[in-house]
Amino acid sequence: MPALLIIAHAPLASSLQAVARHVYPDCGRQLAALDVEPGMAPEQVVEQARAALAALGTEEALILTDVFGATPCNAAREVADGAKVRVVAGVNVPMLWRTLCYASVPLDDLVARAIAGGSQGVMQVGATPRQHQGPAGGSDDQVQHHHQQ
């Protein structure tokens, strides 16, 4: 089972970890978070990412980052080998939950599920208009409603 590491600008990584544990309380052994604080040197982020992966104790891992090209993603790319450790940028809650839901699938399938969960979780939601239907007046006497069958 691949491990999961979230690397994101503080406090997003730890917040997403808390959201994950809210729905999947038993995910603690396979999930770690690394918050990138303002002013952290890129080398420090890489070092902490390597340590976090080692602490997870698995051979395979998926790293979820917040923004492609930013320090969290760049650090993840540096520690990933593209085979046993993969990176997906653009993490959101639907992506995280989908990943945890399918955590037992092979790494390549997990990457695909993460991307699908993230993209399918983004949608425009329209407001439902209120229905202004007051209580029906009168009685249920069919004589008054002769047009109804």
Total-model pTM: 0.84
Report how far residue 36's alpha carbon sits from residue 41's, in angstroms, rounded to the nearest whole number.
Answer: 9
Among 21, 99, 12, 11, residue whose Cα is nearest residue 61: 99
State the average pLDDT over residues 10-21: 98
Report how far residue 69's alpha carbon sits from residue 55's, in angstroms, rounded to the nearest whole number.
Answer: 25
Q: Which domains does the chain have, with CATH numbers?
A: 3-120 (3.40.50.510)
Report how far residue 86's alpha carbon sits from residue 108's, in angstroms, rounded to the nearest whole number.
Answer: 9
Predicted confidence band of residue 29 (pLDDT cuts 50, 70, 90)? confident
Report whether pLDDT(119) > 80.
Answer: yes
42-95 pLDDT, tens digit per residue, is: 999 999 999 999 999 999 999 999 999 999 999 999 999 989 999 999 999 999
